[in-house]
Chains A and B, each alone.
Chain A
């Protein structure tokens, strides 16, 4: 497979056809999607029409844009006009958004070809893509294992070669953790760098849309395409966006890199993760970076704060799925009243994890409990931000594990929600701080399954973050390639 950057360059130059690029990906989907189940919906006809339009534009001498002819997979919580957007939930049965998310418009404007809507944990709540109403997605490296989550469908689609790029959303690690488990690059941008308009909200103050790519340069390009001000999102920054791709070849000579002690020794980390983190740090030092350990003390409270703030916001954001206006409506009996309709609709429409979080969040916001739970979590959030800011006075970027381990077998953690929540321990601090972080493949476990390390940067530090990520990528051992991705050409 060629990279997205090369594909776009060839298509823009008239050296390759978008239609051929698409068919190559559709062939892999046809051969392996039934095993992987990365998609809720493959948009074969729409994608063919889009690819043809790109080729026509090139033939007519127009430039289709920076992603000309590049197949992209969209997480199915991103609104697409006239195309079902399910959030992998029954409660949105039959709903077709009347509008495109801002990021979708930007992709189309850049000449990208949207191949489908990918599976996720229902409403992005989960770390394995097993909480989907439509069944789990499987890891292309090992079909008995999960791809991570909640953006597991997009991560798997990119890892399997079903799409060259993918978009996910990251509320507590939902891009970076599946990127790590699927052996791809995944980034959560600075909060406010990418418009959330058209992203179905999970936890509004934490959600960010971000890119998946097979390499750092591809992911950075995708971020550059989707980033920037949007008058439809008040929390989107008005200033010109940073250029994630601007320093990719600059090396790391003289950069100060801090390994976060609290995350390097977090609860539940498996030994291979520690080994890969150490090797990554050594590789950066060998490339000229000044690497040291750094303490960011409040990060140890990150998971606790996250599992109050995110459910609290979710309990409010998901209230609208009530059977009144769209999606599923269950009327339990002919003479059922409004409350009975609400109860039946939400009881049947939502899965167990979503209900669990709605209840947690409702409780955390209740009169008499607000200060002890939501209020306290917000104070922890402030502490985490302050501690990160202190660390960035001494360091340009920070280094941490992404996930506690490699891809785990399906079903292994579904019975124990707290064990599942521990997947997020190294990723949630960046969401709470609103800072960017990227997971880069670096090494494998004993079974040859991919692992990632995380580069964290201060707010709007995407350029230096990707600069360091590119150096890590260059120093990393050759990552494993799933067999299905080799199909249709050299990997």
Chain B
């Protein structure tokens, strides 16, 4: 936030203001072919090699709707708890060189998906107004000048992307902070990937986010004038752009000015938004029903088949992991396990029916050691992992030992029992541990008196002594419960 003036209000912390954010997310569908023709839908090919009369909008060509794209759109709508409904395509008319027909085939007043919601990991719920189907434009590269059209020497257009299927997901203005906006996009991306409809790659442009930002005095129920911010290429720039824009609007209003409704461009390098076009300059898109396509009316059977074919979605999976482990669904550990797709390893631990706290131990190991090495995680054998967690939860291995064994398994595979014994990790008998604890207590009578008197921070002192006396082999959890019981 280097460019925000020091005397501007800080939008994240200023309690006098509330930020109101609605997001429009464009998601490219990972169909084999484009939305209205048979050209390949693939990223990174030679420019203008995946084109035909239809996606080039040549005179006389006509669009034919891709069934798989409709299926994917319905999957997204269903996953976002939308009403999947009969819909229609419209033409959105405006002139731009990357639009071969100078209109975009999109959906307008009757989108395929409407009125849903998305639950954030922390428990918040964001409304989804609509998730409609449309075609992507080509990609323009402005050569020379500052990389924008008005100062470019010339422009190159690649139509490979023209006609690629998109679903545009429009949230309600329910988002209240940059952090929440990022959480929303993160969760939406996970859902999109889970449905199989998208690869969710923001860096390749298959997920693009525009933000409508306004501010209002805290407690107000009226909306302020909003600005639409474009050109954020990562979650980080989304957060920065929202913070910058909210601060700009707050400062403007604080100084007695008013916010003008406009579209603004996020300048990543400069760390600021700048005006692109005002409301008065906004296009009149002259929407009207696309006469080259018939109304889209998916059968009830199709809608039902989509609903039953959806895999479990992230929110459900988090709930399942939370229930199995007893950890909160909103906890970082649970979210990490689900985000990285490690929940089948929790399932394996639950199936193994080990000690009662094995699933929560499993979530900790997965969210920490396993998450740190996603490649190795992919080949981790669920049965081995379950036995290892059982050993730790049952006290046969200390946490430190279990981490070492886990790392060994991830590095080179193998059975946890064999590795533990190879490393000399013998389970220390509880009575042996009690004896060690007694010895330490007798050796440190002053500390023990203070601990007995309630000085809890001395727990660490005693545990440290236990660890040193047992060469790290003791189950420190068990040691601290011995200490507590002995007091």
Contact with A along B101-112 (1 / 0, CB 8 A): 111000000000
Residues in A whose Cβ lies below 8 Å from that of B93: 315-316, 319, 365
Q: Which of B59, B62, B284, B294 has the most CB of A within 10 A?
A: B59
Q: Which residue of A lies closest to B54 (CB)?
A: A232
Q: Which residue of A lies closest to B290 (CB)?
A: A204
Q: Is the CB of A79 within 8 A of B102?
A: no
Q: Is the CB of B294 within 8 A of A235?
A: yes
Give how many B residues have a beta carbon under 8 Å from the other chain's beta carbons.
30
Contact with B along A175-210 (1 / 0, CB 8 A): 000000000000000000000111111011100000
Query: At the interface, yes or no: B412 with Cβ under 8 Å from chain A?
Result: no
Q: Nearest chain B CB to A118's CB is how many angstroms away? A: 16
Q: Is the CB of B288 within 8 A of A234?
A: no
CB-CB under 8 A for A319 and B102, given A234-B293, A338-B149, A374-B288: yes
CB-CB under 8 A for A79 and B59, given A234-B64, A367-B284: yes
Query: At the interface, yes or no: B63 with Cβ under 8 Å from chain A?
Result: yes
* A95-B64 Cα distance, complex, nearest whole Å: 24
Q: Which residue of B lies closest to A101 (CB)?
A: B60
Query: At the interface, yes or no: B80 with Cβ under 8 Å from chain A?
Result: no
Residues in A whose Cβ lies below 8 Å from that of B334: none
Query: At the interface, yes or no: B57 with Cβ under 8 Å from chain A?
Result: yes
Determine which of A85, A87, A199, A325 lies in contact with B56 in the assembled complex, contact meaning CB atoms within 8 Å: A325
Q: Is the CB of A365 within 8 A of B288?
A: yes
Q: Which of A82-140 contact B (CB under 8 A)?
A: 85, 87, 92, 95, 97-99, 101
Residues in B whose Cβ lies below 8 Å from that of A200: 59-60
* A204-B101 Cα distance, complex, nearest whole Å: 14
Q: Which residue of A lies closest to B94 (CB)?
A: A319
Q: Which of B22-75 contact A (CB under 8 A)?
A: 53, 56-65
* A446-B9 Cα distance, complex, nearest whole Å: 88
Q: Is the CB of B65 within 8 A of A97?
A: no
CB-CB under 8 A for A316 and B91, given A235-B292, A322-B102: yes
Query: At the interface, yes or no: B97 with Cβ under 8 Å from chain A?
Result: yes
Q: Is the CB of B102 within 8 A of A365?
A: no
Determine which of A98, A199, A204 lies in contact with B291 in the assembled complex, contact meaning CB atoms within 8 Å: A204
Query: At the interface, yes or no: A421 with Cβ under 8 Å from chain B?
Result: no
Residues in A whose Cβ lies below 8 Å from that of B65: 234
Residues in A whose Cβ lies below 8 Å from that of B91: 316
CB-CB under 8 A for A197 and B286, given A235-B294, A322-B102, A325-B100: no
* A232-B36 Cα distance, complex, nearest whole Å: 10
* A283-B92 Cα distance, complex, nearest whole Å: 51
CB-CB under 8 A for A85 and B59, given A319-B102, A374-B288: yes
Query: At the interface, yes or no: B223 with Cβ under 8 Å from chain A?
Result: no
Query: At the interface, yes or no: B461 with Cβ under 8 Å from chain A?
Result: no
Query: At the interface, yes or no: B302 with Cβ under 8 Å from chain A?
Result: no
Q: Nearest chain B CB to A258's CB is how many angstroms away? A: 29
Q: Is the CB of B101 within 8 A of A362?
A: no
Q: Determine chain B's interface SS by DSSP, over half rule.
A: loop
Q: Which of A77, A78, A231, A235 has the most CB of B within 10 A?
A: A235
Q: Nearest chain A CB to B94's CB is how many angstroms away? A: 9
Residues in B whose Cβ lies below 8 Å from that of A197: 60-62
Q: Is the CB of B60 within 8 A of A201?
A: yes
Interface bracket on A: 35 or more
Query: At the interface, yes or no: A342 with Cβ under 8 Å from chain B?
Result: yes
Q: Is the CB of A320 within 8 A of B288?
A: no
* A77-B294 Cα distance, complex, nearest whole Å: 23
Q: Is the CB of B64 within 8 A of A320?
A: no
Contact with A along B282-305 (1 / 0, CB 8 A): 001011100111100000000000
Query: At the interface, yes or no: A233 with Cβ under 8 Å from chain B?
Result: yes
CB-CB under 8 A for A198 and B60, given A320-B100, A338-B97: yes
Q: Nearest chain B CB to A228's CB is how many angstroms away? A: 16
Q: Nearest chain A CB to B239's CB is how many angstroms away? A: 33
Q: Nearest chain A CB to B168's CB is how many angstroms away? A: 20
Contact with A along B344-388 (1 / 0, CB 8 A): 000000000000000000000000000000000000000000000
Q: Is the CB of B58 within 8 A of A97?
A: yes
* A200-B287 Cα distance, complex, nearest whole Å: 21
CB-CB under 8 A for A366 and B103, given A313-B291, A316-B93: no
Residues in A whose Cβ lies below 8 Å from that of B292: 201, 204, 234-235
Determine which of A204, A322, A337 lies in contact with B95 in the assembled complex, contact meaning CB atoms within 8 Å: A322
Q: Is the CB of A199 within 8 A of B60?
A: yes
Q: Nearest chain B CB to A206's CB is how many angstroms away? A: 8
Q: Is the CB of B63 within 8 A of A95?
A: no
Q: Nearest chain B CB to A430's CB is how many angstroms away? A: 17
Query: At the interface, yes or no: A392 with Cβ under 8 Å from chain B?
Result: no
8 contacts between A and B (CB under 8 A): A85-B60, A97-B53, A197-B60, A204-B291, A313-B291, A320-B102, A322-B97, A362-B286
Chain B residues at the A interface, C-beta cutoff of 8 Å: 53, 56-65, 91, 93, 95, 97, 100-103, 149-150, 157, 284, 286-288, 291-294
Pairs A-B, 7 closest by C-beta atoms: A319-B102, A205-B291, A365-B286, A204-B291, A200-B59, A79-B60, A198-B60
